[in-house]
Amino acid sequence: MKNSGVEPLPTDDDIIVIEHLCKSFGKVQAVVDASLRVKRGEVCFIFGPSGGGKSTLLRCINGLEKADSGTLIVDGIDVTHKKVNIDLVRAEVGMVFQLFNLFPHLTALGNITVAQEKVRKRSKKEAERVARELLERVGMPEKADVYPDQLSGGQQQRVAMARALAMNPKIMLFDEPTSALDPEMIKEVLDVMLDLAKEGMTMVVVSHEMGFARAAADRMVFLEEGRVIEEAATDELFENPKEERTRVFLSHIL
Amino acid sequence: MAVTTKTDERESKLLPWTERLSEVPWWALIILLLGALVVYFIIVSPTYQDAFLFLVAGVKITIGVSLISFFLALILGLVLGLGRVSKNVVFYTLSSLYIELVRGIPILVLLIYFAWVVTPLFLQFLNWFGTALANVAVGPLVGLAENMATLAIQDVDMVVRAIVGLSFAYAAFEAEVFRAGIQSIQRGQMEAARSVGMSYFQGMRYIILPQAIRRVLPPLGNDFIAMLKDSSLISVLAVRELTHLGKLNRARTFRTFETWNTVAFLYLILTLSLSIFVKFMERRMAYEE
Ligand SMILES: Nc1ncnc2c1ncn2[C@@H]1O[C@H](COP(=O)(O)OP(=O)(O)OP(=O)(O)O)[C@@H](O)[C@H]1O
Ligand SMILES: [Mg+2]
């Protein structure tokens, strides 16, 4: 924040570039003048109090919300530009929601294949092969033909991750992926996320799971009242937070 | 399901017999009894039998017209319903305008209007268009243009005009059913669809509509029953459906009583069996939820 205006030009390495982004809902300012960069292969962890604008910022990145002003460049494409086909950007950006949002009328397999077939135009056979591989990877190959309402929360979230991964996204966004889960299921979801991080996936994670941040995050961003209060490397932010508000918040939740 | 039925049974055994009597669906039994009576008359009484045989042809037209009209109303209603939830101002406004206009006019008036105002106007347009086309047409288009230019209003059968009227009238109702169904699906569904790269249209087609349509099947079933009853109104266009044949049979035989008893009986058979089917469907869906 303090160095806005003298930021270096974005390089090829910056897969997400956010500059002076603002978004309001009526009188509520959800995101205020936020600037942020995410490098390829980096895990960026966003945290902060409820209503701080974390979800809104994340949703702006894949165009579910339209920013009022500012610049937002995702993988070299200026998302805020009017003529940009946002669907093309979205296919490259996977999103995992707090409440899973699985498609209840499709089986686990169907959830993972539908966009592959309709958006990526893969054959049914190819899409199913990819889907089964991903189900294997999230540890539930036997659930291919089960409908979402017969899966536990943790299993649903893992299918949701497989659904997003099936599109071979360059970036994965997570909006509090474990907040709606019972404690015993949180680990199975975090484990998949940890694997992803190890494989070098670019991830932007909104969460309260500080254990995950310590284990996997490269950088952490503290967001409050729509503003980026502090942004630092993970160790630095944990050991030596510069801002008083960050310190207060961390002391409450750790 | 199984558990609740069991407790229901146990509880009903504990009820005193007076209360148990009040739980019997007497109305259904009485209808069944009256129905049996009419069937009995049709079998033993020649006048009833005569009326029945004369009217059966009308039942076929009633069912046929209702099925075709409802099918068309569903298609148009779906388009209008999509307009009602669309962010496109023009699409939204046109759909809303149509729905509000049509819902504000009695169906009987709409039917007359479509048969005697809209159809002739449309034909005039076709004639004009055909004439214009004939001047520039080449090859196989010439025949088509000439047909269009010379099509006369008498060539448009009343059944066709009735189907057009019923379809356009009911499309407005079905549009609202579809709109409610689409809006009942959580916002997260469309967001998830968009986030895997689907367009708005693909999200509707593959994610929202399959869920919404399942939910609106029972109300659509009820609307079909309503249309079946409203199809009696097309008797004003002299379409030979059940009600019109009732009028004809009365005029032919002067048997007012037997004629209208049989007409009412035939309508009831259709509507009651359909409504049992809809109730069954509703219960099965409640179970699946
Ligand atoms: N669609 C919307 N319409 C109106 N206000 C909204 C909308 N979405 C978010 N807001 C408001 O914007 C502000 C930021 O919300 P946001 O959901 O981004 O916060 P958050 O940090 O994700 O909070 P939480 O931890 O509760 O998820 C809040 O005051 C919220 O009420
Ligand atoms: Mg949130």
Residue B107's SS3 state is: helix
Instruction: Using alpha carbons, select from B267, B285, B287 the residue that is nearest to residue B56.
Output: B267
The yes-or-no verdict on residue A104 having pLDDT over 50 is: yes
Element housing A22 (H / E)? strand A14-25
Tens digits of residue pLDDT in A204-223:
999 999 999 999 999 999 99
In this structure, are strands A219-224 and A28-39 parallel, antiparallel, or unpaired? Answer: unpaired
pLDDT on residue A2: 44
A119 vs B contacts (CB less than 8 Å)? 196-198, 202
Q: Are A236 and A242 in contact (CB under 8 A)?
A: no
- Between positions 185 and 214 of B, the ones with CB within 8 A of A are 186, 188-189, 191-199, 202, 206-207, 210-211, 214
How far is the centre of ligand 2, averaged over its atoms, from the C-alpha of A242 (Å)? 25
A34 lines ligand 1 (CB under 6 A): no
**Residue B186 phi, psi (nearest 5):** -55, 145
pLDDT at A30: 94
Gap from B165 CA to chain A (nearest CA, Å): 35
Average pLDDT over residues A193-214: 95
B200 Cα–ligand 1 center, Å: 23
Q: Cβ separation of B196 and A102 shorter than 8 Å?
A: no
- pLDDT of B149 reads 85
Q: Ligand 1: which of A22, A29, A45, A54 to mutate, most ligand atoms within 8 Å of CB? A: A54
Q: Residue A3: which pLDDT band, with cuts at 50, 70 and 90?
A: very low
Residues of B in contact with A104 (CB under 8 A): 211
Residue B148: per-residue pLDDT = 85
Q: Are strands A219-224 and A43-47 parallel, antiparallel or unpaired?
A: parallel
Mutate to test the interface with B, among A65, A88, A103 (most CBs of B within 10 A): A103
Can you spell out the DSSP letters for A43-77? EEEEE-STTSSHHHHHHHHTTSS--SEEEEEETTE
Contact B227, B166 (CB under 8 A): yes
Ligand closest to A97 (CA) is 2
Residue A56 CB less than 6 A away from ligand 1: yes
What number is the average pLDDT over the span A34-50?
94
Chain B: residue whose CA lies nearest to A116: B196
Please say whether the beta carbons of A47 and A207 come within 8 A. Answer: yes
A103 and chain B in contact, CB less than 8 A: yes
Please indicate whether residue A10 or residue B132 has the higher confidence score (pLDDT).
B132
User: What is the spatial distance between Cα A41 and Cα A44, in angstroms, rounded to a whole number?
Assistant: 10
Please, which residues have CB less than 5 A from ligand 2, an ion? Answer: A 55
Q: Which residue of A has its CA nearest to B202?
A: A118
Contact of A236 with A227, CB cutoff 8 Å = no
What per-residue confidence (pLDDT) applies to A82? 76
* Domains of chain B with CATH codes: 46-288 (1.10.3720.10)
At B26-53, the pLDDT tens digits run 888 888 888 888 889 888 999 999 999 9
Q: Is the CB of A52 under 6 A from ligand 1?
A: yes
The reply to whether A163 touches chain B by the CB within 8 Å rule is yes
How confident is the model over A142-192, as pLDDT tens digits?
A: 999 999 999 999 999 999 999 999 999 999 999 999 999 999 899 999 999
Alpha-carbon gap, residue B262 to B264, rounded angstroms: 5
Average pLDDT over residues A222-248: 93
Do residues B59 and B266 touch, judged by C-beta distance below 8 A?
Answer: yes
Show the low-confidence residues of chain B (pLDDT under 50): 1-7, 9
pLDDT per position as a tens digit, B95-140: 999 999 999 999 999 999 999 999 999 999 988 988 888 888 777 8
Instruction: Write the CB contacts of A70 (distance below 8 Å, at least 6 apart in sequence).
Output: A18, A19, A20, A21, A22, A33, A34, A80
User: What's the rounded Cα separation, in Å, for the pair A79 and A61?
Assistant: 8
Q: Are B175 and B84 in contact (CB under 8 A)?
A: yes
